[in-house]
Every structure is written in structure tokens, then in C-alpha cells.
């Protein structure tokens, strides 16, 4: 069943062109975030006590508050307790199970309502050119109007994208604000490549340092620190015989922070991701897989990358960021990784 669903949505969700369809919309949402968070840049210096809550709202935008509240339950400490605590919920209903079910059901109701409204609008648009369709339109066109697959994928994207993209953006803001030299290099690239022009896919593709900054931030502080699979055949891993059907976890954070793969691994060095740079890393290809790899790679990868890149561009075009915390930010692991404290940042208008 999983493969049937994935095979129908894989191409449309993971093609870079699919995400780039929304470049103008994401730019507008990012500008709205800055207006909301910084107050339109009024005043000489503006300190936001904690950027994380605003970035959760940005990552979901329209349906923000209720969906965020539910996702904090269904993807937070509750699910961690259900997965790794005593499995009492298998014997009788527990509060954690009730909370998880309630939050999941509420997310389904909210998402279904918006998706149903979108389907009605699509019928009146009568668009037949796939290049002019949104991703949801493409899935409906491919799977049929009565299929539940587009709805399931949309709900999954809405729910899973809040914490992951929001926390990734929060970590990126922190790294930029606490590394002024690298921030200035990125600002210069934005100014040189984009200036005051409208962002286009061609210009975005030229911004190599932007992508390097994003990679380095995710290497140091990935929103997802591990992946798990159930083995489909008997195999040997590091000398251990693993039977078929075994639940195997890969702690992907380990290689990302290992000196074996990345010299000066604790430092924020975007240059390690640039070709022909003396600091270019020689890590194993699988030492950095923040979105996992293979058939079960994160289905929303292209959208998350684009959203974060556009947010960085729009922010640095307008503001210089300065971290105002008293101590470094670390990762707190619940079900996902998130900042262990508030991230206060001063936004200085350029």
C-alpha cells in the first residue's frame, strides 16, 4: 500500500520544478513574516525575543495556530512516550494515546476542510497543462477526483512540515546571527546575484553560498537526527547478523558531527560545501543525509529547501541579524530536534 501511494506522488513532489512553482507565493509569505516579526523594520534596532514561534507560523502560514498546537502534540513528547515508554496503551487507553488521537483527528478535520475547498476551486479552473498546475492539482489529476491519496499527502505535508521546516529555519537564523562573517558573505552574494530584482529559478540556482549555508546549518543542527527502517531481508551490518523484519535505526547526526568526515566538525564553515574550495570536505556520500535517502527520502524535501532559501534571501535583503542570547543554542531532542532555548535576535535594518 505504501509503495502504491509513494509511486504516484514521488515524481510531482520531488521534482525541483514542482517546488519552484510556488516561488512567488513563498516570497510573499516570507515578507509577511518579517513584517509581523520585526514590525516592518520600524525603529533603528529591533530585538525579537524568540524567533522560533514566528517561524512555526511561517512554515504553515494560513492555518497556523490550531495546526501548530496539534502538531506539537502529535509530533512532540507525547509520541515519544508512546514509542519508547512502557506500552501500557496496548492494554488500555492512556492519556498520551487520547491526546495523540485527539490532535491527529483535529489535524485531519482542519486539513480536509481546506483540501476540499481547494478541490472545488480546481474544478472551476479547468486547467489541463501540467506545468500550470499546483502539486495538489497534479495529484488529483493523476490519481482521480475520488482518490484519497492527494488528501493524505496534503495532510501529511501540512502536519510534518511545521516542526521540521520551522526548526530548520530557526537553526539557520541562529547560525547566521551568530556568525557575522558568513552572514556578510551571503548578503554580498544576494546583493550581487539578485540586487533589487525579482527572484527567479535561474538566479536562485546561481546562489552557491546560500545552499552551502543551508547545508552547513543542517549538518550542525538537523531537525531530524535519526532514521529507521524494517529490514526486508537478512543482512550483516558491522559484523552483526540482522534477521528479516528487524527494526533498525541509523543515527544520522553521528556522521554529520564526526571529525572522521568533517574537519573542525563543531564549527560553522559553509565553505566546506563549495567546489574548488580548499576547505571542501571529503566526507562519505552518506555522511550527510538530513532528508534521508532512497525510496523513503523526505517527500517534502524540495519544498523545505526552497522555503528556507527564500526566507534567508528576503531576511538578509532587509536586515542584519545579531544573536542576543547569553549562551549558545543547543539541540533539544523530543521526537524531532528543536532549539533548547529561546533564540533572541536583533534585526538591524540595512
pLDDT tens, the chain, 350 aa long? 555 656 655 555 566 666 676 688 788 888 888 888 887 545 445 789 999 888 877 776 644 556 666 766 766 778 778 777 888 778 888 888 888 888 777 777 777 777 777 777 777 777 777 777 777 777 777 777 777 777 777 776 666 666 788 889 999 999 999 999 999 999 999 999 998 888 999 999 999 999 999 999 999 999 888 888 889 999 998 899 999 999 888 888 999 999 999 999 999 999 999 998 898 999 999 999 988 888 777 777 887 888 899 999 999 999 999 999 999 999 988 778 899 999 999 999 98
**Three cell numbers, residue 309:** 532559501
All three cell numbers of 135, joined, read 502539486
* Helix and strand element counts for the chain (H, E): 14, 9
Could you tell me the domains of the chain? 2-224+303-349 (1.10.630.10), 225-289 (no CATH)
**Residues 273, 215 contacting (CB under 8 angstroms):** yes
- Nearest alpha carbon to residue 342 among 162, 165, 177: 177
Question: Can you give the C-alpha Rg of the chain in angstroms?
Answer: 21
> Please, which residues have CB within 8 angstroms of residue 171's CB and are 6 or more apart in sequence?
217, 218, 220, 221, 223, 329, 339
Q: What's this model's pTM, rounded to 2 decimal places?
A: 0.74
Cell of 4: 502504491
Rounded Cα distance between 224 and 334, Å, is: 10
Amino acid at each position: 500500500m505504501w509503495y502504491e501511494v509513494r509511486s504516484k506522488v514521488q515524481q510531482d513532489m520531488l521534482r525541483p520544478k514542482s517546488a519552484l512553482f510556488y516561488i512567488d507565493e513563498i516570497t510573499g509569505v516570507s515578507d509577511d513574516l518579517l513584517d509581523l516579526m520585526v514590525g516592518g523594520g520600524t525603529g533603528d534596532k529591533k530585538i525579537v525575543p524568540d524567533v522560533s514561534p514566528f517561524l512555526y507560523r511561517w512554515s504553515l502560514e494560513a492555518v497556523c495556530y490550531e495546526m501548530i498546537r496539534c502538531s506539537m502534540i502529535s509530533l512532540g513528547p507525547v509520541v515519544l512516550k508512546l514509542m519508547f515508554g512502557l506500552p501500557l496503551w496496548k492494554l488500555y487507553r492512556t492519556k498520551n494515546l487520547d491526546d495523540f488521537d485527539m490532535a491527529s483527528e483535529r489535524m485531519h478535520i482542519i486539513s480536509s476542510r481546506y483540501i476540499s475547498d481547494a478541490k472545488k476551486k480546481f474544478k472551476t479552473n479547468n486547467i489541463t497543462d501540467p506545468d500550470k498546475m499546483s502539486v495538489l492539482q497534479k495529484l488529483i489529476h493523476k490519481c482521480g477526483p475520488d482518490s484519497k491519496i492527494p488528501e493524505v499527502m496534503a495532510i501529511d505535508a501540512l502536519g510534518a512540515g511545521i516542526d521540521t521546516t520551522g526548526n530548520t529555519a530557526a537553526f539557520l537564523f541562529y547560525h547566521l546571527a551568530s556568525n557575522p562573517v558568513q552572514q556578510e558573505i551571503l548578503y554580498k552574494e544576494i546583493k550581487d546575484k539578485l540586487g533589487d530584482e525579482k527572484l527567479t529559478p535561474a538566479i536562485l540556482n546561481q546562489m552557491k553560498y546560500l545552499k552551502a549555508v543551508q547545508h552547513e546549518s543542517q549538518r550542525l543542527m538537523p531537525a531530524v537526527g535519526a532514521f529507521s527502517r524494517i529490514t526486508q531481508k537478512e543482512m550483516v551490518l558491522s559484523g552483526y547478523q540482522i534477521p528479516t523484519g528487524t527494526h533498525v535505526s541509523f543515527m544520522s547526526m553521528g556522521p554529520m558531527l564526526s571529525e572522521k568526515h568533517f574537519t573542525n566538525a563543531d564549527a560553522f564553515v559553509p565553505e566546506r560545501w563549495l567546489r574548488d574550495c580548499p576547505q571542501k570536505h571529503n566526507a562519505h556520500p552518506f555522511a550527510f543525509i538530513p532528508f534521508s535517502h532512497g525510496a523513503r527520502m523526505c517527500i517534502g524535501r524540495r519544498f523545505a529547501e526552497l522555503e528556507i532559501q527564500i526566507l534567508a534571501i528576503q531576511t538578509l535583503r532587509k536586515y542584519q541579524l545579531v544573536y542576543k542570547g547569553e549562551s549558545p543554542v543547543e539541540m533539544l531532542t523530543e521526537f524531532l530536534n528543536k532549539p533548547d532555548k529561546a533564540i533572541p535576535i536583533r534585526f538591524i535594518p540595512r
